[in-house]
């Protein structure tokens, strides 16, 4: 791990000529690196004052689109937005964190940042990166982790009392883990809040982003890093209360109750809680709320049992390389798909379970790549991955590689075609798979590539023979 990097934030602002009010993309971190980022300066930006900044880490390195999500928030709450183009799920956490650290150092050297108001926000893989930064940089104001996070309690310094804001969809399996982390941080006296939203999108709607960043803004006011702005406090409060009312009108009473709990923490000492308490009492008197609460508890217990079963069977089938059970896993996937289509609380449970299995197998494969594991165990782990994520192209590539090394060309052909069926387009990549020299010279391999991509390296469709 790299988290003993002690990097300073010495602000030495330079004249930085970027147009205000628009997202500028492809700015370079240095002349010697390929790292780049998108930047948004509010229309009120001036070099003469120190500015709050949000570093944004999209899980797929989409710097400009991610920055666009924060434009209105940056304008109304006065933040500089810096969004990396280089965070990717294929990278290790260490590599992604180094990319993030270089970006923070670079921007701190060219823009007038308020070192007390530096925050990180990330989605999915980027959520892990964002929540790891307090271990690299001291005195970060806070973290907003969307969909995923990474907090190492052994390395946490109690002096770095950052705000932890979790944002999670009710169809994402990471919800319980996010809430557990928030509770543990809260016990250590870290301010924490958890926002929930309906669905499993990598980024929630801009209104939720605005509200989550608002939690950081209010914490800055509470700590006197910002001047108390009653108009902004009222604006944030009214937007949150409007969302509570909207959720209640849509009969999403548990999500409404969760947001009311967030508001009690968020506006503590800054606004009256009379309306919040009144809304909570209204919910508690609602029969629909009681029914939804009981239903949630029932499905939560069922989900826990199924999770335990799936973990047991995954470990057992991978350990014993039980290929006979691939059909059973395919059946489970189909059953979960069927449940997911019903648009009920049970369907959300099914989506979380699929999400969990996919992530669990991905982590299992990652661990196996670092240790000596039988070829057959690695094969079945990759095969289960393709069942639950038909576009897990790295898993297909691993199966093709392992099958070729085992001289099992029919299996390699089958998974090659499945990969092509699901949209794989990189022909050159198919000829760079490790351990497949003999396989990729065969007519069958090249004919499959030719039939889906229109060309291949070693097969001529016109003559029907190898080139």
- Cα distance between residue 187 and residue 166, in whole Å: 16
Q: How confident is the model at residue 167 (pLDDT cuts 50, 70, 90)?
A: very high
- Cβ distance 133 to 105 under 8 Å? no
Q: How confident is the model at residue 17 (pLDDT cuts 50, 70, 90)?
A: low
**Predicted confidence (pLDDT) per residue in 61-114, tens digit:** 999 999 999 999 999 999 999 999 999 988 889 999 999 999 999 999 999 999
On the question of pLDDT at 464 being above 70, the answer is no
Rg (CA), the chain: 25
Mean pLDDT lowest among 55-59, 125-129, 152-156, 190-194? 152-156
Query: In 91-113, which positions are buried (b, 16+ CB within 10 angstroms) versus exposed (e)?
Result: beeeebbbbbbbbbbbbbebbbb
**Predicted confidence (pLDDT) per residue in 46-70, tens digit:** 989 999 999 999 999 999 999 999 9
Of the candidates 235, 33, 203, 204, the one whose C-alpha atom is nearest the C-alpha of residue 123 is 203
The angle formed by the CA atoms of residues 99, 103 and 104, to the nearest 5 degrees, is: 120
Q: How confident is the model at residue 369 (pLDDT cuts 50, 70, 90)?
A: confident
| β-sheet bridge partners, residue 168 | 196
**Predicted confidence (pLDDT) per residue in 374-418, tens digit:** 999 999 999 999 999 999 999 999 999 999 999 999 999 999 999
Q: For position 98, what pLDDT does the model report?
A: 95
Q: Where are the alpha helices (DSSP H) in 285-344?
A: 287-320, 326-340
Q: For position 158, what pLDDT does the model report?
A: 61
Q: For position 3, what pLDDT does the model report?
A: 38
Whole-number average pLDDT of the chain: 91
- Cα distance between residue 161 and residue 215, in whole Å: 15
Count the Cβ atoms, other than its own, within 10 Å of residue 286.
Answer: 17
Q: For position 317, what pLDDT does the model report?
A: 97
Q: For position 8, what pLDDT does the model report?
A: 37
- Cα distance between residue 448 and residue 416, in whole Å: 8
**Predicted confidence (pLDDT) per residue in 418-428, tens digit:** 999 999 999 99
On the question of pLDDT at 31 being above 90, the answer is no
| β-sheet bridge partners, residue 53 | 80, 118
Q: What DSSP string runs through 191-255?
A: -EEEEEESS--SS--HHHHHHHHHHHHHHHHHTTSS---HHHHHHHHHHHHHHHHHHHHTT-HHH
Six token digits for residue 351? 């989506």
Indicate the pTM of the whole model: 0.83
- The pLDDT of 448-460, averaged and rounded, is 88
Of the candidates 342, 337, 348, the one whose C-alpha atom is nearest the C-alpha of residue 302 is 348
Higher pLDDT, 90 or 183: 183
- Cα distance between residue 246 and residue 223, in whole Å: 31
Q: For position 467, what pLDDT does the model report?
A: 58
On the question of pLDDT at 444 being above 90, the answer is yes
- Cβ distance 59 to 127 under 8 Å? yes
Quote the distance between the C-alpha of residue 160 and its chain's center. 23
On the question of pLDDT at 15 being above 50, the answer is no
The residues spanned by each domain of the chain are: 23-228, 390-467
Question: On the CB side of 191, how many CA atoms lie within 13 Å of its CA?
Answer: 23
**Predicted confidence (pLDDT) per residue in 211-264, tens digit:** 999 999 999 999 999 999 999 999 999 999 999 999 999 999 999 999 999 999
CATH fold group of domain 23-228: Rossmann fold (3.40.50)
Residue showing tokens 């809260």: 186
- Cβ distance 420 to 426 under 8 Å? no
Q: For position 9, what pLDDT does the model report?
A: 36
Q: For position 14, what pLDDT does the model report?
A: 42
- Cα distance between residue 105 and residue 162, in whole Å: 19
Phi first, then psi, for residue 168 (nearest 5°) are: -145, 140
Higher pLDDT, 435 or 458: 435
On the question of pLDDT at 6 being above 70, the answer is no
């Amino acid at each position: 791990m790299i988290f003993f990097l002690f990097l300073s934030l010495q602000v030495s602002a330079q004249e930085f000529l970027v147009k205000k009010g628009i997202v500028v993309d492809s700015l370079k971190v240095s002349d010697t690196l390929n790292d780049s980022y998108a930047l948004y300066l509010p229309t009120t930006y001036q070099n003469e004052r120190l500015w709050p900044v949000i570093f944004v880490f999209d899980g797929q390195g989409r710097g400009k689109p991610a920055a666009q999500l924060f434009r209105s928030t940056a304008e109304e709450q006065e933040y500089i937005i810096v969004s990396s183009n280089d965070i990717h799920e294929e990278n290790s956490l260490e590599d992604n964190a180094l990319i993030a650290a270089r970006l923070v150092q670079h921007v701190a050297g060219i823009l007038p940042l308020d070192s007390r108001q530096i925050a990180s926000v990330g989605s999915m893989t980027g959520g892990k990166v964002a929540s790891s930064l307090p271990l690299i940089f001291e005195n970060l104001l806070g973290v907003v982790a969307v969909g995923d996070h990474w907090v190492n309690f052994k390395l946490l310094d109690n002096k770095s009392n950052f705000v932890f804001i979790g944002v999670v969809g009710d169809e994402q399996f990471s919800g319980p883990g996010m809430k557990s982390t928030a509770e543990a941080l809260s016990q250590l006296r870290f301010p924490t809040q958890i926002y929930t939203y309906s669905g499993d999108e990598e980024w929630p709607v801009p209104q939720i982003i605005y509200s989550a960043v608002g939690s950081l803004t209010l914490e800055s006011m509470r700590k006197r890093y910002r001047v108390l702005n009653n108009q902004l406090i009222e604006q944030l409060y009214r937007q949150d209360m409007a969302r509570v009312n909207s959720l209640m009108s849509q009969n999403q009473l548990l999500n409404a109750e969760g947001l009311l709990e967030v508001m009690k923490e968020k506006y503590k000492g800054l606004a009256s809680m009379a309306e919040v308490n009144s809304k909570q009492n209204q919910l508690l008197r609602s029969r629909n709320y009681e029914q939804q609460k009981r239903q949630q508890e029932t499905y939560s217990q069922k989900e826990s049992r199924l999770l335990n079963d799936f973990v047991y069977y995954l470990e057992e089938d991978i350990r014993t390389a039980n290929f006979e059970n691939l059909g059973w896993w395919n059946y489970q996937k189909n059953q979960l798909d069927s449940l997911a289509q019903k648009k009920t609380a049970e369907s959300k449970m099914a989506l979380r379970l699929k999400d969990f299995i996919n992530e669990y197998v991905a982590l299992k494969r990652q661990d196996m790549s670092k240790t000596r594991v039988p070829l057959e165990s690695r094969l079945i782990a990759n095969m289960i991955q393709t069942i639950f994520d038909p576009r897990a192209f790295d898993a297909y590539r691993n199966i093709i590689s392992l099958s070729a090394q085992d001289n099992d060309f029919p299996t390699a052909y089958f998974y090659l075609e499945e990969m092509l069926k699901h949209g794989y387009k990189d022909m050159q990549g198919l000829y760079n798979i490790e351990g497949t020299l003999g396989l990729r010279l065969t007519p069958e391999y090249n004919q499959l590539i030719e039939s889906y991509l229109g060309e291949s390296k070693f097969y001529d469709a016109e003559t029907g023979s190898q080139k």
